[in-house]
Structure 1
């Protein structure tokens, strides 16, 4: 849910007092027209707060916590679980790890690249799956009023509104900022995740668990690609009939 413009103005006056809107937009990269439109509507996007926070060396999570909607972030200090950390590792990195572990010694070359940054192509759905006890979606729907089908549609599109991401974290009993990492609104560091936590979680996976997880990801990717191919074929048939 976008933040109230009046609350944003109060926050901004404390962050950059006596600074013009033009200067704020220039240093933060936020377009003046975008900010002006948000202020006119009375609703400022969370991404705007994050961009301005970074420009003024303020932790975005701490900045969001000053708004009533996200006040719970200030008291949330739970570290990410192992499953959450693994969920934020891209499929290509899992496959690379499988190759490194199973290849003959010396055949993979000296050293391996680090993990891809968050978020990745299925980070949101993977994160929700990682913390879901089977009833999570129902609890989130009951707490927020968002219909399960609408919630699932966001997951399929690999996105989740920031407020809904926090509500999901709360319903699952995990760190409230974790969902903001999965959606890409904030970084691991900004959310307080320990340095190298994802890599450490990957290293702790047994060869069997790593291979099984990589296989599950590939199967899911295959299903998605097949659906896309079928949709494309259907679209082409429709166009052929229209011509």
Structure 2
């Protein structure tokens, strides 16, 4: 939910009382026209607050928590579960881990994780949002989020398919799942792992903790999902091509 412009201006005055709008935009990288339009509409995007808070060395989570809509973020952070951490590992990184373990096992005669794993791609990744929701879903999560927020199930699913969630929905999803409130913000790319308070190397540790069987099964599931997505894209491309050919 966008933030009230008046509350935003009070927050902005509190962190940079002497700075002009031009200064704020120059330092934060927010376009002046974008900020002006948001202020005129009376609704400022959460991403604007995040960009400005980073520019002034303020944790974005703490900045958002000063607004009534996101006051819940002021509570002590809850660490992500292993399933959440693994959900934020890109499919290609899972495949690299499978290969690295196989190569290491062949060389050592064992199945332990390699000593020097390749660095993981920073979150988020191409399917991070849907993977995160799947990781915390007990089978009824989507229904509870729909009931709590009023969003139609098909609209919620459409956002997941597009690998996005509004900040408000991301936090509502966390709340209904009973997990830390910042997990969805990381999955959507609103904030970083460090800003959410995730321990350094947490995703790598969660990956290393997977057994060879668990890793292989997860990589296989991701590949299957990727294959379905690519096939749909190919079909859509062919349909579009056919339409243009028929139009001459």
RMSD of Structure 2 on Structure 1 (CA): 1.3
User: Could you list the runs of 5+ residues in structure 2 that have no partner in the other structure?
Assistant: 109-113
TM-score, length of structure 2 as denominator length? 0.95
Q: Confirm or deny that 1:227 pairs with 2:229.
A: no
Q: Structure 2: how far apart are the matches of 1:20 and 1:159?
A: 33
The equivalent residue for 1:105 is 107
How far residue 78 of structure 1 moved from its aligned partner, in angstroms, is 1.3
Counterpart in the other structure of 2:119: 114
* 1:153 counterpart (151, 158, 164): 158
- Kept in 2, the 8 Å contact 1:123–1:182? The answer is yes
Question: Residues 76, 144 of structure 1: CA spacing in aligned structure 2 closer, same or farther, 3 A cutoff?
Answer: farther
Separation in 1, partners of 2:99, 2:200: 24
Provide the secondary structure at the position in 1 that maps to 2:18.
coil
In the alignment, structure 1 segments of 5+ residues that lack a partner are: none
- Asked if structure 2 preserves the Cα contact closer than 8 Å seen for 1:165 and 1:179, the reply is yes
Equivalence for 1:22: 22
Q: Would you say the 8 A contact 1:138–1:148 is kept in 2?
A: yes
Match of 1:162 in 2: 167
Partner of 1:137: 142
Aligned to 2:5: 5
**Counterpart selection for 2:205 from 200, 204, 208:** 200
Q: What are the Cα deviations for residues 75-114 of structure 1, in whole angstroms up to 9, with x where unaligned?
A: 14211000000000000100000000012329xx994431
Shift, 1:18, TM fit: 1.4
After TM superposition, which residue ranges in structure 1, 4 or more long, deviate above 3 angstroms?
Answer: 109-112
Q: Does the Cα contact within 8 Å between 1:127 and 1:182 map onto a contact in 2? A: yes
Equivalences for residues 42-121 of structure 1 within 5 A: 42-103=42-103, 104-105=106-107, 111-121=116-126
SS in 2 for 1:105: helix
Deviations 1:36-57 (A, max 9, x none): 0100011101110000000000
Which residue does the alignment assign to 1:178? 183
Q: Secondary structure at the match of 2:107?
A: coil
Structure 1 length as normaliser, TM-score? Answer: 0.97
Match of 2:130 among 111, 125, 131: 125
Equivalent-residue separation in structure 2 for 1:38 and 1:105 (angstroms): 58
Helix, strand or coil: the match of 2:193? coil
